[in-house]
Structure 1
Amino acid sequence: MKAEAGWRARARYAFDKSMAGGAVALIGWLGLISLIVIILAGLFLSLTGIAPEGGEPVGFIEGAWESLMRTMDAGTMGGDMGWSFRMVSLFVTISGIFVFSALIGVLSSGLENKLDELRKGRSRVLEQDHTIILNWSPSIFDIISELVIANQSRRNPRIVIMANRDKVEMEEEIAAKVDNLKNTRIICRSGDPTDLYDLSIVNPQTSRSIIVLAPEGDDPDSQVIKTVLALVHDPKRRQQRYMIAAEIRDAENAEVAGIVGGGELQLVLADDLISRIVVHTSRQSGLSAVYSELLDFDGCEIYTLEVPALTGKSFAASVMAFENCALIGVCDRNDAVHLNPLPNRVFEAGDKAIIIAEDDASIGTWGEDIKLDREAVIAPVKHPNQPEHTLMLGWNRRGPIITRELSRYVAKGSHLTIAASTPEFESEIDALALPVDNMTVTHRVVDTSSRSALDTLDIDSYDHVLVLGYSDHMNAQSADTRTLITLLHLRKIAERAGHHINVVSEMTDVRNRELAEVTRADDFVVSNKLVSLMLAQASENPYMSAIFAELLNEEGSELYMRPVTDYVSIDRPVNFFTIAYSALRRGEVAIGYRRLRDNDPDERNLGGVVVNPHRAPAMTYQPEDMIIVLARD
């Protein structure tokens, strides 16, 4: 009995294991049952000699064939004659009905399960030269839009996205928020980007570039670092280097991320990037449009490439060698970036030129004689820096970074007043440590959305007003709504004062910028948009992170807007070659201008900013026009 029970248990266990194999195993069992029925019926007919009425007995093969026909088609037995043969046919037909009914159910269930599996996004991607985006954040839609523009010249471009979200939900949200994918196809997969098996699903081995976003939630930087670690140190990774662009929120985590990613990683320090651009824009209205123009793919971009024609030429001569491009720096053979180097710095073999151009096909040296109006060139003039009084309304995690950065640029004797009403505001102000003593800081606990509270701040006495969103304690839309209320109050205060107040605001969602236009603020720095643009550019240009690190570093060369009258005489039309030459005499590189004209087209809403203008045509300037230059101070 024990042996029999053991045999039955083992048989049942073997059957259970085979059934656990899924649809394929079930189809196998149904096929086996059908085969047994057909063989038994064929043997029975051949051994008993039972045949249709009026017919002759059949052999095993013919009997098996007749049984197979009745198994597959129940209507076949309709023409059978003779009750003995009918009974055999009825048994075979009923068996066939059972088998095929079960088979249809198994196939239907298997197909449904397969579709569910596909909807879950767990199938492996077999693309080549694709861009991978890991994790999900509000920045992803702008990144996709930028990559779509960059991919227009490519054949069959693909963007593969993996995040801990439902595949169908990701696809629906992308379809709703990205207007036109053009020739780019989006492929979504669900999975954990920190897991080696899940990473293999998106096939990083054949990817062109990888973007790692900081996900929403607690401690996003640790997720980014772990994802980079999984990519770089995967035992099955490819031998050639990856091109990874990763977003890090807290600059204190940058060193660890750099150690993990090594030379394959470009870090985009989100809060640091936004804070530095906010500081630059708050002191020079219009600069956010310049940064946006340099970062997005619609218009001019920064390219890093070898230009053999420049070998042996000085940097100054090379700057004047382009008509449709703007040379701004050199990337040496050690991949070190030098923006606006010394004018006599000579291009050597292997050096790469850092150039602003509409596209790489338009990059070419100027072959004609350069026409300069040397009489229009004005001798360099130094304007001493004056102390500045700045008001910051609102507070978030970028507030301390902005305060420290602002202190590096302003003249000695400057003052910053910070007004906000967040719970940790006063404790963070008390913990502030400025790197230099150029600026003093005071603070007031004020409801910045209250008109009566704003009236107590004497706002029209400040040189600059900077409005931050309460993005640490509110969602993006609520924070932007409160910012809009503050900006509307500032507009009314300026109208009452009867003079212009220089106002720069930080926005979270780019879609709110159009609403903010009614506030007539001088500039808007859209945080999510800037991070998205930077990540998209870094995924295409391996030097982009280093270029912007120097561009936003007070020790390197930075972007400035300066009066055109500091460079050329405006009593007659001059070409941009002449302005570029005048800038070179001051140790600067001119890359564009800002002209506010009612009849000038501004389809891209850049506030009259033109980056990389054609240099040969002469233009007429007015005293309020500005030249955009790359300068050391």
Structure 2
Amino acid sequence: MDPAVGGRRRAALSKQARYWFDNTLAGGAAALIGWLAVACLVIVVPASAVLVWTDDRAPDDRWAKAAAVWRSVGQTLRLGGEAGSPLRVALSVLLALVALFYVSTLVSLITAAITEKLLALRRGHSTVLEEGHTVVLGWSDQIFTVVAEIAEANTNQGRRAIVVLADRDKTDMEEELRTEAGDTGGTRIICRNGRPTDPVALERVSPATADVVLVLPRDEPDEDAEIVKNLLSLRAVIDDDCRARILAVVRDSRYRLAATLAAGPGAFVLEIDDITARLVAQCARQPGLSLVYQELLDFAGDEFYVVDAPAQAGRTYGEAQTAYVTSTVVGIVRADGALRLHPTPDARLCADDRLVVIAEDDDTTVEAHEPAAVDTSVIVSRPPTVVRPERMLLLGWNRRARRIVRHLSDHVAPGSVLHVVADGEELTAAEAGAAVPQASAGLTVELRRGDPALPETVNALDVATYDGVIVLGPDRGTCGGAPDDRTLVTLLLLRDLERTSGSPVAVVTEMTDDRNTAIAPVGPGADFIVSGKLVGLLMSQISQNWHLAELFEELLAPGGNTIQLRPAGHYVRAGCTASFATVVESASRRGECAIGYRSRDRATTGPDYGVRVNPRKTDVRRWNGNDDVIVITRL
């Protein structure tokens, strides 16, 4: 026979044998058990025979050796192994099979129970037994900032816990938080699976024993109704006298009242679209302001604290401002809980009042032995206010654009112009102009059709003639991709136009993902308003100190105290050398509270880009004419 033909025949037989074997395995559990028994016998019977035939003590009789082989096989396979009459052998095998069935069933039940328990733990369906923890309801881009910032705030508070409830896989949540939030130190992260609108799922995270409950916003304002439902479900599982404080975020102002009513008394609801729009409008007129808010909102540097100050009882607010060298006093919390941000200097402090300060930590506010020296000879009088019309440029349009236009119109001088360059069938000149309140005659809005992501649109603009440029991305889900993608293209075109013209452009950019700011083609120290990170920072700050909710609401509300950048030459003589205490005194004389400065000479140098919040009052430096003083003042 031809060897090649024989080889092909053997290969065909091998394939048929494998096919037959696979079909028998497909027969189910009975076939698997049968093949397992055959495989065991193929190994056990020959091995037992060798053991018996090689044993010097084995009987000489062949049937006796066979019985010994049977006993060895039976003991190995736990089949009894009794020798004797066929009935005796059959009964021993039957009893062994019953015992084997019982034991294997018991083991399988125990294994199934353990597996079910492990699966339940992996699914995140077990109840959290914690007290004083932070509960985060929902999953959005803000969660990574919230977890990272709260963990940073807990570094000196021992072991704390953050419990996350979201309708996602528990393992996936834990992995993403480890990757995006980084090392959380002694703060434990506990994830549970479930819908935050389900009271049964809410019970798993023990909100009644939590210190604070944070309800994260949804991606779209149309989904704010679900936030209201989350809050209603939360109120269904906790009592009115529960210790937990509730902080929620909505995007649309139409849902803020409903969310506040659903959350119950003592809760606080942030409206993030309006806060974002207000900051964009402020930063467009004051380049560098976003860096100040970044410093005040994160826990990495100096931030707001509320501290006890019994030694200041009976003194005035002005005297308290000069009593601390390493902290900046910016307000008072009265005994009834009412917060007064930057009151008048003659406001008297009572015994149970507390101070609102900017400090490195809440335990670093220590009264100095003597106030820092003030050089009154370099203090200058307030220069006359010069009001001039402004020219602003808005590239792009989204749901927050109308609010941005409205906030700009509240503060610009009469005769100011805002040019809007945007594309989209839904945007009309009437809609752009309708964003300006009828009572405001200060701002005129002009619309030019064009796509800000196209070179011909941007190159046709005389960008150097504008006092400020605002770049907005489209709303999520309306552009066929991430909103920041088109924003980055517009910034790239502006950067090229700036390079070819040689004229710097003051640009403030709204983004949704903070990771994109690292690759944005803009100059160092540029202004970014990242809505997702902003709400995460605000929620983290308020969760650690509930009084800050009222403070930030006033800072970001129209008509109240706000943070401003003012030329240093308005406070001290340009080119002079003086302590920061001198600047604080000069600002206090005109009803303002100086909290820091920005050195324009270092405006392009990281990581602070010239911004210094809460410097020591004893720090002495040369005040240049292009420096800015950061003040809290009422417009």
- Short-chain TM bin: 0.7 to 0.9
Q: Does residue 552 in structure 1 map to residue 547 in structure 2? A: no
Structure 1 gap ranges (5+): 1-70
Q: Does residue 484 in structure 1 map to residue 488 in structure 2? A: yes
Task: Report deviation, 1:250.
Answer: 0.8
Which of 253-262 and 360-369 deviates more? 253-262
Equivalent residue runs for 1:196-595 within 5 Å: 196-216=199-219, 219-234=222-237, 237=239, 239-426=241-428, 428-429=431-432, 431-434=434-437, 436-474=440-478, 478-518=482-522, 522-595=526-599
Which of 437-446 and 223-232 deviates more? 223-232
Partner of 2:623: 621
Equivalent residue runs for 1:142-181 within 5 Å: 142-181=145-184
Task: Report deviation, 1:554.
Answer: 2.9
The one of 87, 94, 97 aligned to 2:97: 94
Matched AA of 2:616: H
Aligned mates of 2:493, 2:521 — CA distance in 1: 14
The one of 106, 113, 116 aligned to 1:113: 116
Task: Report deviation, 1:149.
Answer: 0.6
| Paired residue secondary structure (1:444) | strand
| Paired residue secondary structure (2:424) | coil
Task: Report deviation, 1:72.
Answer: 12
RMSD (CA atoms): 2.4
Aligned mates of 2:552, 2:75 — CA distance in 1: 72
Partner of 1:51: none
Do the aligned partners of 1:194 and 1:227 also contact (CA within 8 Å) in 2? yes
Which of 475-484 and 503-512 deviates more? 475-484
Do the aligned partners of 1:590 and 1:628 also contact (CA within 8 Å) in 2? yes
Do the aligned partners of 2:209 and 2:244 also contact (CA within 8 Å) in 1? no
What TM-score, normalized to structure 1?
0.84
| Paired residue secondary structure (2:162) | strand
Matched AA of 1:226: K
| Paired residue secondary structure (1:390) | strand
Cα displacement string for residues 89-132 of structure 1 (whole angstroms, at most 9, x for unaligned residues)? 43322210111122222223332222222221111111222111
Shift of the 73–220 alpha-carbon distance from structure 1 to 2, 3 Å rule, reads: farther
Which of 497-506 and 127-136 deviates more? 497-506
Matched AA of 2:121: L
Q: Does residue 123 in structure 1 map to residue 112 in structure 2? A: no
Cα displacement string for residues 349-404 of structure 1 (whole angstroms, at most 9, x for unaligned residues)? 33221111110110122222431111111122232221111110011111011111
Which of 208-217 and 532-541 deviates more? 208-217
| Paired residue secondary structure (1:327) | strand
| Paired residue secondary structure (1:158) | strand
Task: Report deviation, 1:81.
Answer: 7.2
Matched AA of 1:320: T
Shift of the 601–357 alpha-carbon distance from structure 1 to 2, 3 Å rule, reads: farther
Aligned mates of 2:625, 2:280 — CA distance in 1: 26
Matched AA of 2:227: V
Aligned mates of 1:533, 1:277 — CA distance in 2: 14
Do the aligned partners of 1:502 and 1:521 also contact (CA within 8 Å) in 2? no
Which of 436-445 and 389-398 deviates more? 436-445
Aligned mates of 2:165, 2:349 — CA distance in 1: 43
Matched AA of 2:161: R
Matched AA of 2:593: V
Cα displacement string for residues 292-346 of structure 1 (whole angstroms, at most 9, x for unaligned residues)? 1111111111112331122111111111111111111122233332221111111
Task: Report deviation, 1:217.
Answer: 5.4
Aligned mates of 1:543, 1:439 — CA distance in 2: 36
Matched AA of 2:132: D
Do the aligned partners of 2:80 and 2:95 also contact (CA within 8 Å) in 1? no
Shift of the 448–123 alpha-carbon distance from structure 1 to 2, 3 Å rule, reads: same
Aligned mates of 1:219, 1:517 — CA distance in 2: 32
Shift of the 430–498 alpha-carbon distance from structure 1 to 2, 3 Å rule, reads: closer
Shift of the 101–445 alpha-carbon distance from structure 1 to 2, 3 Å rule, reads: same
* Identity fraction in percent: 35
Cα displacement string for residues 174-223 of structure 1 (whole angstroms, at most 9, x for unaligned residues)? 22222222222211111111221111000112111111001235732212
Shift of the 465–206 alpha-carbon distance from structure 1 to 2, 3 Å rule, reads: same
Matched AA of 1:194: T
Cα displacement string for residues 12-41 of structure 1 (whole angstroms, at most 9, x for unaligned residues)? xxxxxxxxxxxxxxxxxxxxxxxxxxxxxx
Aligned mates of 1:174, 1:475 — CA distance in 2: 28
| Paired residue secondary structure (1:136) | coil
Aligned mates of 1:492, 1:100 — CA distance in 2: 77
Task: Report deviation, 1:276.
Answer: 0.9
Do the aligned partners of 2:403 and 2:435 also contact (CA within 8 Å) in 1? no
Task: Report deviation, 1:423.
Answer: 3.3
Task: Report deviation, 1:280.
Answer: 0.9
Equivalent residue runs for 1:594-605 within 5 Å: 594-597=598-601, 605=607
Equivalent residue runs for 1:12-161 within 5 Å: 75=78, 77-78=80-81, 88-161=91-164
Do the aligned partners of 2:166 and 2:194 also contact (CA within 8 Å) in 1? yes
Matched AA of 2:376: R
Partner of 1:24: none
Moved over 6 A (4+): 71-74, 79-85
Aligned mates of 2:480, 2:171 — CA distance in 1: 24
Name the count of aligned residue pairs.
560
Structure 2 gap ranges (5+): 1-73
Q: Does residue 190 in structure 1 map to residue 193 in structure 2? A: yes
